[in-house]
Structure 1
Amino acid sequence: MEKQQRNKLIQHQQRAFTEGSVEYINEQWVFFDDETEEATLLNVWINEEIEVFVYNRWRNGVLKSDGMIELGQEHYHLKDQDLIRIRKRLVYALEQLLAEINDDAFCQFIIHLNSLQFSIYDCIYCYNHLNFLSESNQKSGVNFIVFDNGDNICSVQHHFVYYEKKSDRFEFTMSSGKRMVIEKIG
């Protein structure tokens, strides 16, 4: 699997964005999160990729100062009540873990997590033991990941053994009591 295919799986996850609207207040652009109703100065995302809803579709761009968004060759100036969405960042330890596991384990983990109605962007905690074993040729241990989708909690234990063969075992336990185990040996 190419890195591009992995990125595509990651980018098409549910709840990957924080969505809201903007208002120009006291000579500053303010972002209002639709979900939490929190207000944040928009300038914290200057030079970051954001999307704006214009011409009845979401357009990718880069936020510049003074409420201007570069949309490729075009420039768009924000207006009050414009809808924007900002891609959430993955928990760093989870991002590192996803980069470390092989393609089959990566796909199976994402597919099964999604089948339980969770997204990788629902991650609220990740302990990645692999980060501490980077120098070792023989790696084994357990990673702990916790997801919260707003309705349920899902705890994942990732048991790994990387010697001559690679073994990845994911144990999913939801707050409802539902459990699922998948294992990839390669």
Structure 2
Amino acid sequence: MKRQQRQKLIEAQARAFHTGTVEYMNKQWVFFDEETDEASLLDEYVHQEAEVLRNTFWIKGYLLEDGGFREGASISQLENGETVRIRKQLIYSLEKLVEGLEDEALLYFLNTLNSLHFSIHDSIYCYNHLTFLNPEKEASGVNFLIFDNETQICSVQHHFDYGKKRVDRFEFTLSDGKRTVIEKMLS
């Protein structure tokens, strides 16, 4: 799977956006997240991918300083009360973990996570032990991930053994006690 295909797979996950409205207040653009009711300065999201709802269509582009919005080569200004969704960024350690997984292991992981009603964008913590190991040598260890979908918590232990065979084992434990284990071996 190419990098672009992986990116599309991640982008298609549920809850990939912060959705809310924007308002110009006290000479600053403020973003009001509809899910959390939290307000934040729009400046925190400058140069991030976003979509603006205009005439019932989501227009893709990038947020600019001072309430600007770039769609392709054109630049427009956001309007008070306009609905905006800002693409969520993965935690850096999770992003690196996803990049390092073999295609099949990534698909097994995402499909299982989704079947448990979680999205990769629900991640609130990721410890990626692989970043501390030499990728040229055999390696084994465990990565720890925690996801919160606002209904439950999911803890994932990713056991890996990258020797003669490449083994990825994911142990999912939900806050209600339900457990799921998947394992993928590649020669």
Q: Same fold (TM over 0.5)?
A: yes
Counterpart-to-counterpart distance in 2, 1:62 and 1:135: 35
Counterpart-to-counterpart distance in 2, 1:46 and 1:93: 22
Aligned to 1:6: 6
Deviation at 1:127, TM superposition (A): 1.1
8 Å CA contact 2:69, 2:76 repeated in 1: yes
Aligned to 2:137: 137
Aligned to 1:47: 47
8 Å CA contact 2:60, 2:71 repeated in 1: yes
Counterpart-to-counterpart distance in 1, 2:181 and 2:47: 41
CA offsets 1:118-163 (integer angstroms, 9 cap, x no match): 0111111111111111255110011111111000111111111001
Aligned to 1:176: 176
RMSD of aligned residue pairs (Cα, Å): 1.2
Counterpart-to-counterpart distance in 2, 1:69 and 1:95: 26
Say if 2:88 is the partner of 1:88: yes
Q: Percent identity?
A: 53
Normalization by structure 1: what TM-score? 0.95
Aligned to 1:22: 22
Counterpart-to-counterpart distance in 2, 1:65 and 1:101: 36
Q: SS at 2:160's partner residue?
A: strand
Normalization by structure 2: what TM-score? 0.95
Aligned to 1:63: 63
Deviation at 1:66, TM superposition (A): 2.6
Partner letter of residue 89 of structure 2? R
Q: SS at 1:158's partner residue?
A: strand
Partner letter of residue 101 of structure 1? L
Partner letter of residue 153 of structure 1? I
Counterpart-to-counterpart distance in 2, 1:85 and 1:176: 31
Deviates more, 1:50-59 or 1:64-73: 64-73
Deviates more, 1:80-89 or 1:24-33: 24-33
Say if 2:107 is the partner of 1:102: no
The runs of 5 or more residues in structure 1 that have no matched partner are none
Q: After TM superposition, which residue ranges in structure 1, 4 or more long, deviate above 4 angstroms?
A: none
Counterpart-to-counterpart distance in 2, 1:159 and 1:105: 12
Counterpart-to-counterpart distance in 2, 1:64 and 1:126: 30
Partner letter of residue 107 of structure 1? L
